[in-house]
Amino acid sequence: MHSRKLLFYSLFFLYFNFKYIQPLLSSSSSSEASLNFDFQSLTLRNLTLLGDSYLRNGVVGLTKELGVPSSSSGTVIYNYPIAFFDPESNITASFSTRFAFSIGNVNPTSFGDGLTFFLSPDNQTLGSPGGYLGLVNSSVLTKNKFIAIEFDTRLDPHFDDPDDNHVGLDIDSLVSMKTANPASLGVSLKSGSLITAWIDYKNEKKRLEVFLNYSSVKPEEPLLKVDIDLSDYLKEFMYLGFSGSTEGSTELHFIENWSFKTLGFMPVRPRTHPHNVSENIVPLNPPIPVSDSGNKHHRRLGLGFGIAGPAFFCAVLVAFGWISVKKWKENKTEKNLKAELVTGPRQFSYQELKTATRGFHSSRVIGNGSFGTVYKAFFANSGALFAVKRSKHTHEGKTEFLAELSIIACLRHKNLVQLQGWCVEKGELLLVYEFMANGSLDKVLYQESENGGNPLKWPYRYNIAVGMASVLTYLHQECEQQVIHRDIKTSNIMLDGSYNARLGDFGLARLMDHDKSPLSTLTAGTMGYLAPEYLQYGKATDKTDVFSYGVVILELACGRRPIEREGGDNKMINLVDWVWKLYSEGRITEAADKRLDGEFQEEEMRKLLLIGLSCANPDSAARPTMRRVFQILNYEADPMPVPQVKPSLTFCNSLPLSIDDIISDDEGCKTPESQFEIVVD
């Protein structure tokens, strides 16, 4: 009886929810919650310190505290990203911040360079000392993106500074858009006294204002007023922080307290209350006439209920039985997973993830793969930003989900995408990862540069190669059980805020003992990255991962995809074959990505190309281990000799398909990744 009541109340609740509550919720779903924090004393619980910054007695110091002149830069960043832009409604939030700072000096004759308050899409912002204010890298001035208010204590002609005591608005450049001298208020930035600053941006007025005062009372008039629309610069999520720097100076920079708030987003459309209507517009129903046929009507109703009642009751029993069995199976799966992951990542509720992704809205999609869709998830209560992978509703998807969960949950490496949690509810299979600010390598390497963006710089490319070699060494040789990834490609390599490589997507990975050679009944992966022996026999080993790594390395060096159509006849060009041909002709460095304009170290470029060829050798026995590759990249071992001519392999049974057969001509308009993904039985 209890179960039947529960079913009845559940059905009634669902009906009531969809009829009355859901319209009200959906009408306000476009309005983001405002953020508000007030730190009277600063702690590491909410802040990240970078560079030379430090925390002492609730006060952050941004630069080195030395009695002798030095060069120093430091940054402190609020740990959680803040929502500033709603892509669904195309509305930007207003914001306001207040903080107290002081700029002092143990040597009155030594001064410079100042500090900034900044907003940035990157939580790793740390620049050079001196006039770069710890905000901009001196070697790559356009790398860091930011909106900053500078409190500058040195006149630097290089950045068109007006004097050595000014406040300015900087956007992606240290050449201020507008400046003001606080001396007009009787304030000296380098007095050593505690100064309170207020920064307000009102989106509806498109105006930014900066106030300064020695006291905690906000002045009526701003020191700096700039009419500007920041919606062009504020991303959906931004990080907040302070930076400071010195160069040959003993200047000290301190932040003593800090408060910040956003004013939220206006709803896209006004809330409607369809049931709150004026009495004078309620239609009046005319009185219903009494009919003599009432008794006949009641008898017909009784007969109908007599027939339909039992049928309806049976249907309810069948439905309830089906729901109960399904729920029992889901609970059993969840209990098994909980037993295995009792000390592992956190279990999220389905509702949490649905809310954080706005109901898995299309505007939150940041990637698609053969095993599911990846969404950006923002948790308003904690300010945390994650990526949620939603697997497809298939048996294969469930198998891949369990494989990914069981493998990556016990792995720890700085070049792995860290699993934060999981969820198995409502027939959904969901994994929660840390959010990678710069997305996937293929996007940065190809899409951004093809769309007019700057190509990925050489130091980042070489660092990505080293990071990938490090993590594959860990997976192949340093884990308790060897892990074969089986799907190493640029779209599965993620980049954090500093362009460090993080290997992800373990949906195809398999755990295996070190002394066994795994034999898979399914060849899965992406054409162009598959080793010949794997494509032929379906046998995945550490050597097949090495081959895929070699192709990725050649992509980094050459800026070309593994397989491309070229020429008027759309002939398929294999990247490994193309590089090996240049190598055999003694022209291997000509394979370097032309978009780099020669801005690379030729020795490193040659080394990377030769490593790529060594790893992509058709003969698996001739390929190096990932440990050897890692040592070569770190100058701890000599490069392996590479045959001048690409070795050829013969198999007992040849594949019936050529690359041109696998990739039909009518797919030429698809994206390269979708063209080359195959699954061969």
Q: Are 623 and 543 in contact (CB under 8 A)?
A: yes
**Which residues are registered as beta bridge partners of 430?**
390, 423
Element (H, E) at 523: strand 523-526
Identify which of 536, 572, 521, 546 has the alpha carbon closest to the alpha carbon of residue 627. Answer: 546
Catalytically annotated residue among 161, 487, 496, 545? 487
Q: Would you say the C-alpha torsion 356, 362, 366, 371 has a positive or negative sign?
A: positive
Q: Is 487 a catalytic residue?
A: yes
**Within a 10 A sphere around the Cβ of 168, how many other Cβ atoms?**
25
Q: Which two tokens stand for residue 271?
A: 């809330």
| Look-up of token digits 């869709």 | 373
Q: Which two tokens stand for residue 435?
A: 């959010």
Hey, is 582 helix, strand or coil?
Answer: helix
Q: Which two tokens stand for residue 499?
A: 């362009």
DSSP 160-182: T---SSEEEEEESSSS-SEEE-G
**Which residues are registered as beta bridge partners of 571?**
566
Q: Are 617 and 623 in contact (CB under 8 A)?
A: yes
Hey, is 87 helix, strand or coil?
Answer: coil
Q: Before 113, cis peptide (omega within 30)?
A: yes
Q: Is 225 annotated for ligand binding?
A: no
Measure the CA–CA gap between 139 and 129, rounded to whole angstroms. Answer: 12
Identify which of 129, 94, 96 has the alpha carbon closest to the alpha carbon of residue 115. Answer: 129
| Look-up of token digits 């009046």 | 284
Q: Are 262 and 94 in contact (CB under 8 A)?
A: yes
Q: Would you say the C-alpha torsion 476, 479, 482, 487 has a positive or negative sign?
A: negative
Measure the CA–CA gap between 249 and 247, rounded to whole angstroms. Answer: 5
Measure the CA–CA gap between 62 and 72, rounded to whole angstroms. Answer: 9
| Look-up of token digits 């190493």 | 488
Q: Rounded to the nearest 5 degrees, what angle is found at the Cα of 91, between the Cα atoms of 269 and 174? A: 170
Hey, is 461 helix, strand or coil?
Answer: helix
Length of the chain measured in residues: 681
Region at 186 (left for phi over 0; alpha for psi -120 to 50; beta for the rest): left
Measure the CA–CA gap between 323 and 646, rounded to whole angstroms. Answer: 60
Instruction: Name residues whose C-beta falls within 8 Å of residue 1's C-beta, 6 or more positions apart in sequence.
Output: none
Q: Which two tokens stand for residue 315?
A: 């249907």
Identify which of 159, 217, 165 has the alpha carbon closest to the alpha carbon of residue 189. Answer: 165
Q: Write the secondary structure of 201-228 as one string of H (helix), E (strand) and C (coil).
A: EECCCCEEEEEEECCCCCCCCCCEEEEC
Q: Which two tokens stand for residue 144?
A: 């860091």
Instruction: Name residues whose C-beta falls within 8 Å of residue 285's C-beta, 6 or more positions apart in sequence.
Output: none
Q: Please report, in range form, the residues annotated as the binding site.
A: 389
Q: Which residues are known to be catalytic? A: 487
Query: From the annotation, which residues make up the binding site for ATP?
Result: 389
